[in-house]
Structure 1
Amino acid sequence: MLKTILLINLFILSTKIISQPFGIGDQLPATKFNSLINYDQQEINLHKINKKLIILDFWGTGCRVCIEAFPTLDTLQKQFAEDVQFIGVNTESKDSITRFLAKHKKIHLPAFPFITGDSILQEFFPHASVPHHVWLNNNGKVLSITTGHNTNHDSIADYLKGDKIKLPVKSEILDYDYTKPVIVENDGRWLPYAEYYSYIFKGLPNIKGLAGLTDSNHLVRQSSIEQLIITAFEENGKYNFRSKGTRLLNVASARRYVIPQDRDSLQDWRKEHLYLYELKVPPSKSHYLYATMQQDLLRFFQIEAKIIYKKISCLELDKIPASLKDAKTVESDEVYNYNLTGARFGEILNQSFYRKNLPPVLVSPNIKEVNAKIRISAIEYKTFSLTEIISDLNKSGYTLNEVKKLMPVLLIKEPAR
């Protein structure tokens, strides 16, 4: 019974040793290898090599860099023959490597032993690429895990004279899922490293809150093609292409571009024509955010868009003479008192007006500040009529005059076929 328990414990210990990769400072167990080439002994034991430094050179017959390094490794082995032992390590079988060397007669192995058909050292030191070098002392302690080019005359000489090893540690991703896009691989672990990316999704369920700029260098928008193009060319308030007359859509079928008014068909429309666009650029490139968005959208949707100037109907906010001001206050349960700059007040009017397909609002240059009571909310859409708003403004000493102005207009069109 004691013997059985002892055997089981040894098996568990052995499995644990092999299954866990070794790192710098770890001690290798005594391990023998007997599938060898280029060696005059039947086996090799890493713990019985009487040298100050053992360097394992993991390589493969398909690795051109590994094979090109053979002459250099051969020279190093001869230069440090008394203190250093190189050992080649390959997972391929002895027969396979022998056939390879017979076929490629110009390839000459360095003058040191080669372990073939290896699986143990591969588990001790897992890696994704070769050449892969592991430095050990004569007691099997791991001194360094590095790339092949770091093993050279100077690094070996420095170690032998007692200097501390300062070789870069070779770091590789061994669990990478090559079937996934980088941005979502392993639950998006690489996303914090992304400097720049953009992508477009089609037909996603409607996600509330994805309305535009989330940071100066990051933008997410889910909408129709027309609204995405508008977002790109408005450049976060630089232009207004949402009000009546500020855009021209010259396309064969508007259904592809515009959200339908018929709510019964909205669900089917979303599956075919609702897009989500996301863009992130480095903070230092924030000023290119909208230009990049424009290029992405026009290229992907294969359409053309540009800003032109033409005279269109506008509503100009202006003061009215004090003698014409209506002394009555606005009578409504939903009145909002505004004391803002003229420019900001104009933005609020435009945000509400474009939803009702009204012309753009301009603010007269002689208005610096506005103090008015109107039935428009700055934070949520409220039902109103233009007549009501003009009446409200009159009571506060302002009016909206219809004028013709030369204005920027966004032209969206399909290229000629």
Structure 2
Amino acid sequence: MRSLYNCLKRPSLRYFLVSAVFLLGSIRLTAQQELTGIRVGGKVPDIALTGLRNYSSPDIKLSEFRGKLLIIDFWASWCSPCLSMIPKIDSLQKEFTGKVQFLAVTYEKESVAKPFAERMRKRVPSPVPELYEDKALHNLFPHRELPHYVWIDGAGTVLAITGFTDVNKNNIEKMLTGAPGLRTKRDYYTKYDRSKPLFIENNGGGGSTVIGRSLLAGFIPGLNSGSSAPDKLHDTLPFLKITCRNTTIPKLFELAYGEGKIMHARVMLNVKDSARVKFPESADAAVKEKWVAENAYCYELWGPKNTAGYGFELMRQDLNRYFPDYSAKMEKRSVTCLALVRTSKEDKLTTKGEEPAVTADRFGCTLTNTFLSHLITRLDFYYLQNLPYPIVNDTGFTGRVDLKINGNLGNLEAVNRELAKYDVTFTKKELEIDVLVISDKN
């Protein structure tokens, strides 16, 4: 099946993405470009303001407010923090009459913002002038996040650019007395299209602040099939990562529930319609190729290394969501196994106590002062993985051994000829072992 995946060349027409993304920080951290304009310390030009409401004249110059601390309040009718600030700003305006002038400014059309403001004013009359459909002040002080406040002194110099948490009585008094300035609110622009997946093709940035995610995609032509999972003893990555490439549904469940410790021979399908989950072994190449393109998936989970359950529990939750037609669980079942058994009572395995070592490739295996599990695992996961039987150790021997096989580990007869020297052999045997049962959900 691996070779089939590797040779597929037809482009897949189906590609989808399902993800759960956990972000560190906000849009400011995924910034591509900081917005520029008049900065703190800069002089504000004496621009004309037209269409001013709730003021003595509708058309004025900005210099009308010279001699006072001018605080421009950029807001919008959809902005909850903006609305929550209205009573507070009204109160501050009344408290600092003659010293401070607030100016409420929105880019929204007057037909949208004015009716909203009028409804607010019926409840709480306001002394703050309002400017609708503004472009001039927005061009001088571009921003992305609301509310946005620009503090300008009586001479027309920008003293501060802040968020709403800085607008309070204490800070106003500091500014009026010339105390050190407030922290500067910075705004950034990141291109984002909400109709497209986050971070794909740099939508919303490159994803540099992602600290965890899971992703499911369809078959990807040209990508070799396989999977990898964290090894608690030898994992050197600074983060947790589980990956499956062009993998079938049973293989996905096998990794998630077996946690990398079981192979396909321990997976039992209990489904009425197996067309989606069972590879058509006897079909011709074209049918196999089409089946793989329609029924193979790519999955990846990564996140903090201290993730509970080393990520497998999260993977199981993902698969239950992504494939709601199926359920999976580990069960004890009596199945035919390829069991390593003793052929005599004589012990020819116990180690002589040299330095522990394991060497293995397709042409042989040497175990020195170590455990039989090293041989069992290599045969089960690699060299004899295509056999339809789980490979288990049924010798009852749990101690350290010395064992050497000179022969093709992919040939069971060759392996047994070598094992005969130690009075052990592999044979078919019914045993009760842990298996993964995949069933229809209902």
| TM surpasses 0.5 | yes
Instruction: Please state if 1:299 is matched with 2:329.
Output: no
Q: In the alignment, is residue 159 of structure 1 matched against residue 175 of structure 2?
A: yes
- Describe how 1:372-391 pairs up with structure 2 within 5 A: 372-376=404-408, 384-391=410-417
- 1:407 aligns to what? 433
Q: CA distance change for structure 1 residues 270 and 139 in 2, over 3 Å: closer, same or farther?
A: farther
CA spacing shift, 1:88–1:406, aligned 2, 3 Å: same
With over 3 angstroms needed to count, the CA separation of the structure-2 counterparts of 1:374 and 1:192, relative to structure 1, is farther
What do residues 136-167 of structure 1 show as CA deviations (whole Å, max 9, x unaligned)? 22343333322234211112112223332334
- Match in the other structure for 1:330: none
Once the two structures are overlaid, the 10-residue window that deviates more, 112-121 or 264-273, is 112-121
The offset of 1:23, in angstroms, is 3.5
Greater RCO, 1 or 2 (C-alpha within 8 Å, sep 6+): 2
Give the whole-Å Cα distance in 2 for the aligned partners of 1:103 and 1:398.
Answer: 89
Shift of 1:348: 0.8
Of 31, 35, 39, which residue of structure 1 is paired with 2:47?
31
8 Å contact 2:267–2:437 — kept in the other structure? yes
State the number of aligned residues: 381
Rate the CA distance shift 1:109–1:207 in 2: closer, same or farther, 3 A: farther
Among 183, 192, 205, which residue is 2:208 paired with? 192
Counterpart among 374, 382, 385 of residue 354 in structure 1 = 385
Question: Aligned residue for 2:252?
Answer: 228
Higher mean C-alpha displacement, 396-405 vs 254-263: 396-405
1:83 aligns with 2:109: no
Kindly, what percent of the aligned residue pairs are identical? 25
How far residue 370 of structure 1 moved from its aligned partner, in angstroms, is 3.7
Alignment of 1:30-109 (within 5 A): 30-41=46-57, 43-47=59-63, 49-51=65-67, 53-63=69-79, 65-92=81-108, 106-108=122-124
- Report whether the alignment pairs 1:335 with 2:357: no
2:241 is the alignment partner of 1:218: yes
- Is the Cα–Cα contact under 8 Å of residues 66 and 155 in structure 2 kept in the other structure? no
Seen in structure 2, the aligned counterparts of structure 1 residues 65 and 229 have a Cα distance that, compared at 3 Å, is: closer
> Deviations for 1:56-109, whole angstroms, at most 9, x for unmatched residues?
011234556535533322221232234322112122456766565566661555
Residues in 2 aligned to 1:142 and 1:168: alpha-carbon distance in whole angstroms: 11
Between 403-412 and 173-182, report the one with greater CA deviation.
173-182
1:243-322 equivalence runs, <5 A:
243=265, 246-261=266-281, 262=283, 263-287=285-309, 289-301=311-323, 302-317=325-340
Tell me if the contact between 1:314 and 1:362 (Cα under 8 Å) persists in the aligned partners: no
Give the whole-Å Cα distance in 1 for the aligned partners of 2:186 and 2:77: 21
Q: Given residue 412 of structure 1, which amino acid in structure 2 is its aligned partner?
A: I
Question: Is the CA contact (8 Å cut-off) linking 1:346 and 1:363 kept in structure 2?
Answer: no
Q: Is the contact between residue 190 and residue 204 of structure 2 (CA under 8 Å) also seen in structure 1?
A: no
State which drifts further: 267-276 or 154-163.
154-163
Q: Structure 1 residues 158 and 41 mapped into 2: Cα distance closer, same or farther (>3 Å)?
A: same
**Relative to structure 2, which stretch is displaced further, 193-202 or 38-47?**
38-47
1:106 and 1:358 map into 2 onto residues whose CA distance is 80
Structure 1 residue 397: Cα displacement: 6.3
- Aligned amino acid, residue 385 of structure 2: Y
1:334 and 1:91 map into 2 onto residues whose CA distance is 71
TM-score by length of 1: 0.78
Q: Which runs of 5+ in 2 are unaligned?
A: 1-34, 231-236, 349-360
Shift of residue 42 of structure 1?
A: 5.6
Which amino acid counterpart does residue 364 of structure 2 have in structure 1?
Y
Q: Please, which moves more after superposition, 68-77 or 406-415?
A: 68-77
Quick one: which amino acid aligns to residue 231 of structure 1?
A: L
In the superposition, relative to structure 1, how do residues 397 and 36 fare at CA in structure 2: closer, same or farther (>3 Å)?
same
CA contact (8 A) 1:70 1:108 kept: no
Q: CA deviation at 1:316?
A: 3.8
Alignment of 1:102-121 (within 5 A): 106-108=122-124, 110-121=126-137
Cα drift, residue 349 of structure 1: 1.4
Contact 1:128-1:174 at 8 Å conserved across structures? no
Q: For residue 360 of structure 1, report the CA deviation from its aligned partner.
A: 1.3
Q: Distance in 1 between matches of 2:109 and 2:187?
A: 27
Instruction: State which drifts further: 39-48 or 91-100.
Output: 91-100
| Contact persistence 1:70–1:109 (CA under 8 A) | no
Question: Which has more helix, going by share of residues?
Answer: 1
More deviation, 146-155/360-369? 360-369
Q: 1:112: how far off?
A: 3.6
In 1: Cα distance, 2:119 partner to 2:398 partner: 90
Paired with 1:102 and 1:159, the residues of 2 have a C-alpha distance of: 31
Q: Quick one: distance in 2 between partners of 1:125 and 1:40? A: 25
Give the Cα separation in 1 of the matches to 2:36 and 2:163.
Answer: 21
Q: Does the aligned pair in 2 maintain the 1:59–1:88 contact within 8 Å?
A: yes
Unaligned runs of 5+ in 1: 1-18, 326-332, 378-383
Q: Is the 8 A contact 1:51 1:85 kept in 2?
A: no
Shift of 1:232: 0.9
Amino acid at match of 1:373: I
Instruction: Quote the RMSD (CA, aligned, Å).
Output: 3.4
Partner of 1:299: helix, strand, or coil? helix
Q: CA–CA distance in 1 between the matches of 2:252 and 2:413?
A: 31
